Amino acid sequence: MKKDIGVGLLGLGVVGCGVAEVLATKADSLAEQAGLPLVLKKVLVRDVNKRRSVGISPNLLTTHSEEILAHPDVDIVIELIGGEHPAREYIEQAISNGRHVVTANKEVIAKHGYELLSLSRKYNTDLRYEASVGSGIPLISSFQQDLAANKISSIRAILNGTTNYILSRMSQEGLDFASTLKQAQKLGYAEADPTNDIEGIDASYKLVILSNLAFRAKFVPQDVYCEGIANIAARDFLYAREFGYAIKLLAIAKRDDDKVEMRVHPAFIPRDSQLAEVNDVYNAVEVETDLAGKLVFYGEGAGALRASSAVIGDVLAIARNIYRGANNVPDLKLDRRATVKPMSELKTRYYLRLNAPDRPGVLAQISKVLGDNSISISSVIQKESDPAAQTAIIVIMTYPAEEEGMQKALKQLRQLTVVNEVSNFIRVET
């Protein structure tokens, strides 16, 4: 008879410290729920002497991964190192050693989830990753289990807290991108190297993970068209507001027969829509289904405690199974027919901001280029002429048009002598 459930922790960063602390402070209540105490057996760190925010016995720390991955008393390995390597290899090794794995690693799951889940099936172990998307918001299990009877037609989501914080501040305070990013870094809402967040890569990993479950197909990060927020200017928010929109970095996956659109980019979204009202570090996922209708999941998508909620929820689920001798190997039911719809086939409305010489005939030439590419203009605002430079800002909203034509038009607009600059180009979600 087992006396406890042994837990091994890989990584003692922000989330790792959070998890270690919750395991310690909630030990009694967790033991009650799991049936057996959850005992931290060993923690992998890079430097055993580093000072940490969590009080943890130095005897538990190790710099040798195999002391955890092959530890005889470790039943569950929690991977919180992040990044692709060596996290992926550690997870593989843990599974191959018959250990159950809980991870918060969106990159590894988005890139190698299918292979890792197959490995888990082979070794009769469980692999859980609730914390990889939306932190403490119950998404993975809802998609896997509760929505199992549904055909999901679309996911539209705000999945990255950093960019949503930056866009919220820019919108509310009229600040530019660079200074808002700096402020976010100072407050700990953006990392020193913010590339993955700012360029939408983080959101695209999360979209892949949700899409694999929603469409029961195998998608990879390369399937996602990905555009970041660095090009958004303070004045784009002004024009957006004038047209009745907010600007959000949206992660969108939409099924259209057997094709699925997969894209992450800044988007205009009606100001009175639910996603428009998701601010700061909050995340939200809107799902359209055939049976359950429209569902929205909302909560904070980042932070050590938020992630701990999901990580320890997963650990408890595995621990309960161990306690009652049940075996939960991952399901891998894929509907392989789904393929990615090329971005060129996207049909939507577009917002265009151009800088042009302030003289007659300019708009005629711009309109002609758009018209030649079957793009109809819905509204035009000409703004803020600069008499000194003799330039004007022209803002255009189009009717729904095909991305392919739009991209051709953009190319041609950039070559027009009456266009100084195509300053921005943002898709509209309605």
CB 357 within 8 A of CB 391: yes
The verdict on 290 binding a copy of itself (CB under 8 A) reads yes
Q: Which is nearer to a copy of itself, 26 or 408 (CB)?
A: 26
CB 105 within 8 A of CB 116: no
CB of 262 to a copy of itself, least distance (A): 22
Q: x/- site string to a copy of itself, residues 297 to 336, per CB under 8 A?
A: xxxx--x-xx-xxx-xx-xxx--xx--x-xxxx-x-x---
Q: Which of 66, 62, 64, 65 is nearest to 49 (CA)?
A: 62
CB of 114 to a copy of itself, least distance (A): 17
Going 186 to 190 to 195 to 200, the CA torsion angle's sign is: negative
Q: x/- site string to a copy of itself, residues 187 to 226, per CB under 8 A?
A: ----------------------------------------
Q: Which is nearer to a copy of itself, 29 or 57 (CB)?
A: 29
Strand-pair partners of 353:
395, 424
Judged by CB under 8 A, which of 58, 293, 361, 387 binds a copy of itself? Answer: 293
Distance from C-alpha of 11 to C-alpha of 103, rounded to nearest angstrom: 11
Q: Which is nearer to a copy of itself, 217 or 393 (CB)?
A: 217
CB of 412 to a copy of itself, least distance (A): 43
Check if 341 is active-site: no
Q: What part of residues 109-168 is at the interface with a copy of itself (CB under 8 A)?
A: 130, 135-138, 141-142, 145-151
CB of 3 to a copy of itself, least distance (A): 19
Query: What number of chain residues touch a copy of itself (CB under 8 A)?
Result: 54
Judged by CB under 8 A, which of 12, 30, 110, 203 binds a copy of itself? Answer: 30
Report, in angstroms and rounded to the nearest whole number, the Rg of the chain calculated over CA atoms. Answer: 24
- From the candidates 42, 111, 206, 248, which is the catalytic residue? 206
CB of 283 to a copy of itself, least distance (A): 10
- Specify the stretch interacting with a copy of itself by CB under 8 A; choose among 95-103, 163-171, 199-207, 285-293: 285-293
Q: Which is nearer to a copy of itself, 155 or 356 (CB)?
A: 155
Instruction: Pull the structure tokens for residue 28.
Output: 């009694």
CB of 405 to a copy of itself, least distance (A): 36
Long-range contacts of 301-304 (CB under 8 A, 24+ apart): 301/134, 301/135, 301/137, 301/158, 301/159, 301/160, 301/161, 302/135, 302/161, 302/162, 303/135, 304/14, 304/15, 304/17, 304/18, 304/19
- Nearest 5°: CA angle at 278, between 292 and 139? 40
Q: Helices 14-25 and 304-323: crossing angle, nearest 10°?
A: 50
Length of the chain, in residues: 430
Instruction: Pull the structure tokens for residue 343.
Output: 């971005």
CB 71 within 8 A of CB 3: no
Q: Which is nearer to a copy of itself, 202 or 300 (CB)?
A: 300
CB of 350 to a copy of itself, least distance (A): 28
Judged by CB under 8 A, which of 17, 22, 80, 395 binds a copy of itself? Answer: 22
Q: Which is nearer to a copy of itself, 293 or 361 (CB)?
A: 293
Question: What are the residue numbers of the active site?
Answer: 206
**Contact residues for a copy of itself (CB under 8 A)?**
22, 26, 29-30, 32-33, 130, 135-138, 141-142, 145-151, 274, 277, 289-300, 303, 305-306, 308-310, 312-313, 315-317, 320-321, 324, 326-329, 331, 333
